[in-house]
Amino acid sequence: MIKLLIVDDEPLVQAGIRSMVNWEDLNISIVGIAANGAAAYEMIKKYEVEIVITDIKMPVMSGLELARKCVDSGMDVPVFIFLTGYEDFHYAKEALTVQAIDYLIKLELTPEALIQSLDRAIARLSELRYSSRTPDLAINTIFREQFFTRLIFNLFEDEHQFLSQSKNLKIDFDYELYATGYIEIDSGRLTDMAAEKQISLYSSSLQLVSELMGKYIPCHVVSLDTRHFCIIFFLKENDGNYKETIQKALAQISAMIFNYYSVTIRSSIGSAVNNPMQIPASYQDAKQIFSQVTANCPVLFFEDVTSSARLKNVFNMSLFKEDIRKAYAEYDETALYDIFSSIINLFEEQPAHYVQALDAACNILYLSLSLLNNGEQTVSGIFSGSANGYRCLYEMNSVPQILSYLKTLRDGLCAVFASKNQDYKNQIVINAKKYIIQHISEKLTLNDVAEAFCISPNYLSVLFSKYNDIGFSDFINQNKIEAAKKMMRDGDYKIYEISDLLGFESAFYFSRVFKKVTGSSPRDYMKTILS
């Protein structure tokens, strides 16, 4: 059974919680009751408690102090459910950093609300247990987030790459329909907040959405910036009116966020699509109509907007993403300058298309952060003069401002590329040579090695010729023959066995290459060793 601890300095509250639900039905055992955080901490260690229901504010040691002490101790941290009064509710916002699953107001506590919180706590425990059994879970989570970000921004090279990555990450796309929501967090306080507090408020709101939305409808939440996120909804055609389902879910979440953090959310929902590869189109639809979302209509569906009111998308990221990816991979400042300038020129001719320009800039920013080595550091350096760093993009409210941002990013990246270009190219060759030597027993082609470093084969061939004394193929052959000579000296191998072990197509071809490199046949060389 799951071990639970109740912590509160009021005996009536202790008794009330204990008698409120049937604990056995929930597979929960109450291992103890404590009147303060200090006593609770000792009991957590002694009984290996898994769930803690605790008052936030208590004498000796508060609930928050207790949770932080558990985190700092390095122990397996229990899942916390915090109890609070109206006057102390502001403390709840701090609890997101200490594995809190819920915050319950004492005077409004009901058996139903408590059971719902316990269900969420049990689900969280299952996740944590899985995590402990799976050392790579954290890395896998990062890859999943990158996958969904690449999906909404249409950054997959082709459907094969999409299907391969979704299979490896065990992401299920076995649904009839998909729709993407674009969500904005709105608060009159945001503009007056320091950047750190804005990020904290956003993170808190996003965590709440991520934890609760799945209870209403299958989905995945993707963070965009300090005020925006999107939700990919997974739908079934037999659900009936999916729009009603989405609207109800958003209404519930919106109410919770407002109660907890005094912020509102506004949402636009893109068209429903039946192919997951069309999710980027649904996302674009949501972005296009978002400007029409109002306080009186906080959720707007693309299908409900008249065709005349839909903006034409003048920017197609797919036209540029491969060129950008290649320029970043090769630190090619000339290509980068030309690409950015083409995009800038496009929107200079379309000054009214603010949404599309912002979306384009966000796409480019994401590529810069994700594709460049030390991308976060590089881009932050370019915008170090701005109060909010590169996130100042999200403060832009006109196309000219966005284009000025892109020009700053373009010029900054070109300067970085110019300084790194030669060193980078030389390092590619060094790394490629190391890779070849490490994989000398395999059948190596120019395409294989280029793919290992995510660069084009032609580019690798050019670099090899420029920064190495011999060409690519000659380098491979030379090192394979050196390995063959060592095998001849150190082992009792037949010629065809050596050929096979070193990845040659045939013994005949091996003999031909051997003679070209050494001036003698393998058989003659073996004779000189034995003589």
Burial class from Cβ neighbours inside 10 Å (0-12, 13-18, 19+) for residue 51 reads buried
From the list 330, 363, 360, 334, the residue with the least C-alpha distance to 348 is: 360
SS3 217: coil
- Residues paired with residue 135 on neighbouring β-strands, in sequence order: none
At 246-275, the pLDDT tens digits run 998 899 888 888 887 788 899 999 989 989
Q: Does the CA dihedral 58-62-67-72 come out positive or negative?
A: negative
Read off the pLDDT of residues 300-309 as tens digits, 9 standing for 90 and up. 998 888 654 4
13, 42 contact by CB (below 8 A): no
Rounded Cα–Cα distance for residues 411 and 326 (Å): 18
Q: Which residues contact 260 (CB under 8 A, 6 or more apart)?
A: 92, 93, 103, 204, 208
Q: Where are the beta strands (DSSP E) in 166-269?
A: 177-186, 219-223, 228-235, 264-269
In angstroms, how far is CA 69 from the centroid of its own chain?
29
> Facing residues of 531 across strands?
none
Distance CA 195, CA 190 (A): 9
Which region among 177-181, 267-271, 351-355, 362-366 has the lowest average model confidence (pLDDT)?
351-355
**Angle, CA 354 vertex, CA 299 and CA 185 arms, to 5°:** 35
Instruction: Find out whether 421 and 380 touch, Cβ atoms under 8 Å.
Output: no
Specify which of 275-279, 350-354, 427-431 reaches the highest per-range mean pLDDT: 275-279
**What is the mean pLDDT of the segment spanning 198-212?**
78
- What tokens does 402 get? 């966005």
Of 3.90.230.10, 3.30.70.270, 3.40.50.200, 3.40.50.300, the CATH number of 171-305 is 3.30.70.270
The predicted pLDDT at position 136 comes to 47
* pLDDT one-digit tens code per residue, 156-193: 777 888 888 888 788 889 888 999 999 988 766 555 66
Summarised one tens digit per residue, pLDDT across range 464-523 is 887 788 888 889 999 999 999 988 888 788 888 898 889 888 888 889 999 999 999 988
pTM of the model: 0.46
User: Where are the domains positioned within the chain?
Assistant: 2-133, 171-305, 318-424, 427-530
Instruction: Please determine, for residue 138, whether its predicted confidence score (pLDDT) is greater than 60.
Output: no
CATH class of 427-530: mainly alpha
Q: What is the mean pLDDT of the chain?
A: 82
Whether residue 95 is predicted with pLDDT greater than 50 in this model: the reply is no
What residue type is assigned to position 181 of the chain? G
Lowest mean pLDDT among 90-94, 230-234, 402-406, 427-431: 90-94
Q: What share of the chain is helix, strand, coil (3-state, %, to 5)?
A: 65, 10, 25
Mean pLDDT of 377-400: 86
What count of Cα atoms within 13 Å lies in the side-chain half-sphere of residue 121?
27
Residue 93 has pLDDT above 50, yes or no: no
The correct CATH number of 2-133 out of 3.40.140.80, 3.30.470.20, 3.40.50.2300, 3.10.50.30 is 3.40.50.2300
The answer to whether residues 471 and 464 touch, using CB atoms and an 8 Å cutoff, is: yes
Average pLDDT over residues 361-375: 81
| Token output for 454 | 């995510």
Cα angle 442-447-451, degrees, rounded to a multiple of 5: 90
The 10 Å Cβ neighbour count of residue 197 is 12
Distance CA 157, CA 92 (A): 44
Strand order in the sheet with 228-235: 219-223, 228-235, 177-186, 264-269, 299-301
Extract the tokens encoding 268: 């636009």
If phi > 0 it is left, if psi is from -120 to 50 it is alpha, else beta; for residue 315 that is: beta
Higher pLDDT, 194 or 117: 117
- For residues 517 and 498, what is the distance between their CA atoms, to the nearest angstrom? 16
